[in-house]
Amino acid sequence: MSLLLGIGFWLSCWALNAAIAHSRFANRKSVRIAVPVLFGLAILGLWQGIVTGFSVPEVILPAPSSIGAAIGANLPILWVDFVQTILKGALTGYTFGVAAGCFVAVLVDRVPFLRAGLLPIGNFVAALPIVGIAPIMVMWFGFDWQSKAAVVVVMVFFPVLVNMVAGLSASDRMQRDLMATWGGTYWQTLTKLRLPAAMPFLFNGLKISATLALIGAIVAENFGSPTLGMGFRISTAVGQLALPLVWAEIAVAALAGSVFYGFVAAMERAVTFWHPSQRGR
């Protein structure tokens, strides 16, 4: 019965989506938000229907309702884990990594030898599985959040460096010549022309590394962690078969990741409003 309800809910959401996606309001902002929200609700409804319909045991897949109950019951735990992993581990590392990446990029840009030599290496390293340094960082900096932040710094550094170096050469010859005819110094050219011109590239790197930061912070907890943190909680709760709690942590991680990414995207819109890809929104 609940299975049929779930499928029916899913189908009706789909039909409604198809209707509004092809209606004449399809380009309104409200529709652009409503369609994916309905899509997500439909999946949740189908999930609930399947789990209750087939009475799937909770150790395999808990229903959305019991995950919701677990979130409500474990708010303090979820909060300390969030502070430990996201705020202390990921955000600290992200800030330092981005700052270091930008600084080194300006330095590399100044020295042609470095640009020729460091950039291919940076490109290669950016494609490597850098998460592998997690055990090394845990050995060096101990179990607490400092080692997690260190992993995140290294993971974030290379995408930011590569994109920032590409961005610093984005202004064209003509624009730089114009700055020269105005007698602009290196620093004036850098702050008034080249850094602003590099912003679209920088934000590209920032968005890539926003997701990497969370991955790094959680993976590092597999190699040793104090008795809190999202990665720690998930692996211990899996061991205790407390699956609703696991899914609650996953929901928090998903929410934190999406908000983080959304924040970077909103910053991008505010900073690079002049760029063609941001106009007309």
Partner 1 sequence: MKAAAVLGVLAVIVALWYCAAVWLNAAWTYDQAARNGTEVTFTLLLTDTMAQERPVLPPPHQVVAELWKGLTAYNITSKKSLVYHGYVTLVSTFSGFVLGSLLGILLAVGIVQSRTMELGLMPWAVISQTVPVVAIAPMIVVLSNSLGFGDHLGVSNALVSKTIIAAYLSYFPVLVGMVKGLRSPDQMQLDQLKTYSASEAQGFFKLRLPSSVPYLFTSLKVGIAASLVGAIVGELPTGAIEGLGARMLIGSQFGSPIIVWAALFAAAILAGVLILIVRVVETVVTRNMGVRV
Are 93 and 213 contacting, i.e. CB atoms less than 8 angstroms apart?
Answer: yes
Question: Can residue 238 be called a binding residue for partner 1 (CB under 8 A)?
Answer: yes
Place of tokens 């926003």: 210
Residue 40 is a binding residue for partner 1 (CB under 8 A): yes
**Paired tokens of 152:** 């995140």
- What's the closest the beta carbon of residue 115 comes to partner 1, in angstroms? 8
102, 164 Cβ separation under 8 angstroms: yes
E strand intervals along 87-134: none
What does the alpha-carbon distance between residue 16 and residue 88 come to, in Å, rounded to a whole number?
43
Cα(276)–Cα(158) distance, rounded to whole angstroms? 26
Out of 234, 242, 245, 248, name the contact with partner 1 by CB under 8 A.
234
Smallest distance, Å, CB 262 to partner 1? 8
* Least Å from the CB of residue 51 to partner 1: 13
The structure tokens listed for 129 are: 């599985």
Residues 125 and 137: their CA atoms lie apart, in Å, by 17
81 neighbors 229 (Cβ within 8 angstroms): yes
> Is the alpha carbon torsion for 222, 223, 227, 228 positive or negative?
negative
Question: Per-residue string for binding with partner 1, 205-224, x by CB under 8 A?
Answer: -----xx--xx--xx--xxx
In the complex, the smallest distance separating the C-beta of residue 113 from partner 1, rounded to whole angstroms, is: 6
Of the two residues 2 and 235, which places its CB atom closer to partner 1 in the complex? Answer: 235
| Residue (197 or 214) nearer to partner 1, CB | 214
Minimum CB separation from partner 1 for residue 145, in Å? 16
Residue 55 near partner 1 by CB under 8 A? no
Q: Which of 59, 75, 174, 270 binds partner 1 (CB under 8 A)?
A: 59
CB of 254 to partner 1, least distance (A): 4
Under rule CB under 8 A, which residues in 20-39 are in contact with partner 1? 21-22, 26, 31-32, 35-36, 38-39
Residue list 98-117, contact with partner 1 (CB under 8 A)? 113-114, 116-117
Minimum distance from CB of 39 to partner 1 (Å)?
4
Q: Catalog residues that contact partner 1 under the rule CB under 8 A.
A: 14, 17-18, 21-22, 26, 31-32, 35-36, 38-40, 59-61, 113-114, 116-118, 120-121, 124, 127-129, 131-136, 138-140, 210-211, 214-215, 218-219, 222-224, 230-231, 234-235, 238, 243, 246-247, 249-250, 253-254, 257-258, 260-261
